[in-house]
C-alpha cells in the first residue's frame, strides 16, 4: 500500500532517499529499510526524492507494497542530488532525518544506530564515515572514484575536520537547518550542512562503503565543476564571516567507544 495522505500521521524519523534511475535498486532498499525500521519504537517514514527518472523509478515506488509509510516526491525542475536531499529533508515530518543513497552502497542495518544517536541527543549530526578509523571502501570501487573522493575531501579540509565530509550517508536533527543559509549545488550536501549549519556535536561511525551492484553512477565531470563552484562559494562565504563560530565536538562516538573524529573546525 502507498501512503498517499500522511498529513495527519505523526512521525519521529524520516529516511530521505534521493533517486535518479534506480529502478532496480529502490525496491530492495525499501524492503531492507522496512526490516530495520519496523522493530524500532519510533514512528518512521521514507521519503524518496526522484528527479523524474526516465527509467520509471517513481512508478516502482508507487507500486511497492510497503509496511513503512512511504512518500515519493517527483521533481521536474532544478534537479540535482544536493537539492534533492534538501527537498526531502525540508519535506520530512520527522525531527530526525537519515539520508542515504538508493544504490546499495550504504548498509541499511546501520540506520538504527545513526538515527538513535541523533534522536537521543548524543549528536546533532552523525556521519557514516568511510575514512574514520575502521571505515573503508570496497575493492570494487574504481580507483579513479577513490582518488576523486580523497582529493575532494582534502580540498574541504580547511572547512571541516571530520574524516568524511563527502559521505552521502548521515543523520541529522532537522532543527539545525534554520541555522544556515543553504545553497545546494552539485553532490555534497553533507558538507553544506556541516559548514553552514554548524551542527554540534558531530560524530562519525566507520562503515564499509560497497560499490553499487546494479545501475550506473551519476558522478560525472560536470559534478567535478559543480564541486569546484560549491567549494569556492563556501570559502568566499567563510572569508565574509557568514558562518557561526566553531565549537569542537567531543571525541566520543555512539555507544561510547573512542573511535570518532572531532567535529568541524574552522
Nearer of residues 201 and 215 to ligand GTP, judged by Cβ: 215
Binding span for ligand GTP by CB under 6 A among 31-39, 212-220, 224-232, 235-243 = 212-220
Smallest distance from the beta carbon of 48 to ligand GTP, in angstroms?
Answer: 9
Nearer of residues 67 and 222 to ligand GTP, judged by Cβ: 222
Site for ligand GTP in 4-33 (CB under 6 A): 18-20, 22
Of 202, 182, 212, the residue nearest 89 (C-alpha) = 182
d(CA 228, CA 41): 42
Partner from ligand GTP, Mg ion, none contacting 51, C-beta within 5 to 8 A by type: ligand GTP
Which phi and psi (to 5°) does residue 182 adopt? -80, 140
Partner from ligand GTP, Mg ion, none contacting 124, C-beta within 5 to 8 A by type: none
Q: Which residues on neighbouring strands pair with residue 49, listed in sequence order?
A: 18, 73
105 near Mg ion, judged by CB under 5 A = yes
184 near ligand GTP, judged by CB under 6 A = no
Per-position b or e across 73-89, b if 16+ CB within 10 A of its CB? bbeeeeebbbbbbbbbb
145 near ligand GTP, judged by CB under 6 A = yes
Judge whether 50 and 91 are in contact, CB under 8 Å: no
Judge whether 121 and 247 are in contact, CB under 8 Å: no
In the complex, the residues that contact ligand GTP under the rule CB under 6 A are 18-20, 22, 49-51, 79-81, 84, 101-103, 105, 145, 168, 187, 212, 217-219
Amino acid at each position: 500500500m502507498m501512503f498517499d495522505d500522511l498529513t495527519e500521521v505523526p512521525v519521529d524519523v524520516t529516511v530521505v532517499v534521493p533517486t535518479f534511475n534506480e529502478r532496480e535498486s529502490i525496491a530492495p532498499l525499501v524492503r531492507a529499510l522496512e526490516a530495520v525500521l519496523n522493530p524500532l519504537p519510533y514512528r518512521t517514514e521514507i521519503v524518496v526524492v526522484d528527479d523524474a527518472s526516465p527509467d520509471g523509478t517513481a512508478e516502482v515506488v508507487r507500486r511497492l507494497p510497503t509496511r513503512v509509510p512511504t512518500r515519493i516526491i517527483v521533481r521536474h525542475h532544478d534537479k540535482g542530488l544536493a537539492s534533492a536531499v534538501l527537498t526531502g529533508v525540508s519535506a520530512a515530518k520527522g525531527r530526525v532525518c537519515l539520508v542515504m543513497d538508493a544504490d546499495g552502497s550504504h548498509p541499511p542495518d546501520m540506520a538504527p544506530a545513526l538515527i538513535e544517536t541523533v534522536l537521543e541527543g548524543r549528536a546533532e549530526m552523525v556521519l557514516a564515515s568511510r575514512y574514520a578509523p575502521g571505515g573503508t571502501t570496497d575493492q570494487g570501487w574504481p580507483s579513479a572514484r577513490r582518488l576523486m573522493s580523497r582529493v575532494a575531501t582534502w580540498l574541504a579540509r580547511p572547512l571541516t575536520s571530520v574524516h568524511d565530509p563527502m559521505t552521502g550517508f548521515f543523520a541529522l536533527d532537522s532543527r539545525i537547518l534554520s541555522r544556515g543559509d543553504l545553497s545546494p549545488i552539485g553532490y555534497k550536501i553533507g558538507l553544506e550542512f556541516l559548514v553552514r549549519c554548524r551542527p554540534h556535536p558531530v560524530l562519525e561511525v566507520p562503515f564499509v562503503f560497497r560499490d553499487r551492484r546494479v545501475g550506473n553512477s551519476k558522478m560525472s565531470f560536470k559534478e567535478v565543476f559543480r564541486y569546484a563552484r560549491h567549494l569556492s562559494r563556501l570559502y568566499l562565504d567563510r572569508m565574509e564571516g557568514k558562518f557561526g563560530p566553531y565549537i569542537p565536538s567531543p571525541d566520543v562516538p555512539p555507544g561510547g567507544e573512542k573511535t570518532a573524529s572531532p567535529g568541524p573546525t574552522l
